[in-house]
Amino acid sequence: MMQSRSRVSFNSLASPDRLGESTRAPGQCQKAQMENPLSFQPVAVRTQLDDALAAELEELRRRTLHRRLRSVSGRQAARMTVDGRECLMLAGSNYLDLAADARVVDAARDAAQAYGAAAGGSRLINGNLDLHEALERELAAFAGHEAALVFSTGYMANLGVLTALCGPGDVIVSDALNHASIVDACRLARAETRVFAHNDPADFARVAGGLAGFRRRVLVVDGVYSMDGDVARLAELVPIARAHDMVVVLDDAHGLGVLGAHGRGVASLTGVTVDVLIGNLGKSLGSFGAFVAGSLLLREYLVNTARSFIFTCALAPPALGAARAALAVARAEPERRKLLLERAEQLRAGLQSLGWNTLRSTTQIVPALVGENAATLRVSDQLLARGIYAQGIRHPSVPHGSARIRLTPTCAHSLDDVARVVAAFAEIVP
């Protein structure tokens, strides 16, 4: 007998009677599926694993660390619909407003029409399109390095670089507030990891002074700290690293396209050269994916050894086409990054004038410190009720006790939009 949609529901999760009923269902379901594969309906069976997960989720709720997905619709823009309500969007990374730019969208469509929706496999097998290589040449020229290699995400770029460069016998020295993907990459590399106090050259010098005996020594930092919005003090950190014969790896996910001469990022802003630069295509460049820039030999080495590059499907043509177009627009229209930084400064000044602590932010990432998790959620709910979407950030994204609202304007936000956000902050009670 075919099961009707109304009879099979995940609502049966809670009730033991219904649970018994659902354990009988798979046989019926298989029969229905054989008759018509499209008729398949999931059958809810509450397992021991579910019981354990439910208890752990309850514990997250108790600690106000539980997360839920918000439903966002519409084109990427300064105003979007969040959970059914039109809002000012201050929670994204579409900093230069390129994700829905007609030239970028057209390029994504053209790439899909010319190449199809997928690369069809991994880069080392059949997925190395001329589009990847064209984008890599353009990214290398933009970043001021000999070569670049595209990865599927920034997370995978960090995993690939650190696990390829480091292993047992090596040491990675990492800033205390580095992005979670760097933290995970350090774990996966199985090298020794030493952490220095956030953006503190004196503490870095102390750690760097104690690394005798390691084969390779690597400093890894974010360019712009993604939850604090401050800039790595590379002008001080890099000379210390060089004095200790260290390789310098910079993850400039939020700085590239925005800061420095021609938007070349934090290395250019601070006047240093790094060995390995990791950039992102899914933030200011409005597409998806990431890249690593450095020497030709670094590129060849990563092609041969970076497992998150080798054992994964190549970036899809629409993302490549979009990234190429976005890079061209970002380079041709420097007023976008100027406007973005102006809006961020106006927002920061407005919040500060109300007494909000914006930490050390000097970039387009503007935190407003709250402290407690529950209070942070109350603030973000009150903002949402006023038509402003800004994400409340809690542990593990930030250290315990430093929960905050993280606001990220784009160059598409107007001065009036900023005034509206500041006016909302003036009304809310944490």
Ligand X SMILES: Cc1ncc(COP(=O)(O)O)c(C=O)c1O
Binding site for ligand X (CB under 6 A): 153-155, 158, 179, 181, 222, 226, 251, 253-254, 280, 282, 290
Query: Which residue has its beta carbon closest to ligand X?
Result: 154
| Shortest distance in whole angstroms from residue 39 CB to ligand X | 37
| Shortest distance in whole angstroms from residue 318 CB to ligand X | 16
| Shortest distance in whole angstroms from residue 252 CB to ligand X | 8
Nearer to ligand X, 344 or 424 (CB): 344
Nearer to ligand X, 32 or 195 (CB): 195
Rounded to whole angstroms, what are the CA distances from 80 to 74, 286, 347, 388?
6, 16, 19, 10
Nearer to ligand X, 43 or 248 (CB): 248
In angstroms, the CA 342 to CA 418 distance is: 11
| Shortest distance in whole angstroms from residue 81 CB to ligand X | 22
Cβ-proximal residues to 292 (8 Å cutoff; 6+ apart), any chain = 148, 149, 151, 157, 160, 161, 276, 277, 278, 279, 298, 299, 302
Geometric angle at alpha carbon 230, from 224 and 232, rounded to 5°: 60
Q: Is the dihedral of CA 56, 59, 64, 70 positive or negative?
A: positive
| Shortest distance in whole angstroms from residue 57 CB to ligand X | 24
Nearer to ligand X, 222 or 417 (CB): 222
| Shortest distance in whole angstroms from residue 34 CB to ligand X | 40
Q: For residue 153, what are its two tokens?
A: 């995400």
Nearer to ligand X, 254 or 337 (CB): 254
Nearer to ligand X, 253 or 325 (CB): 253
In angstroms, the CA 82 to CA 387 distance is: 9
Cβ-proximal residues to 58 (8 Å cutoff; 6+ apart), any chain = none
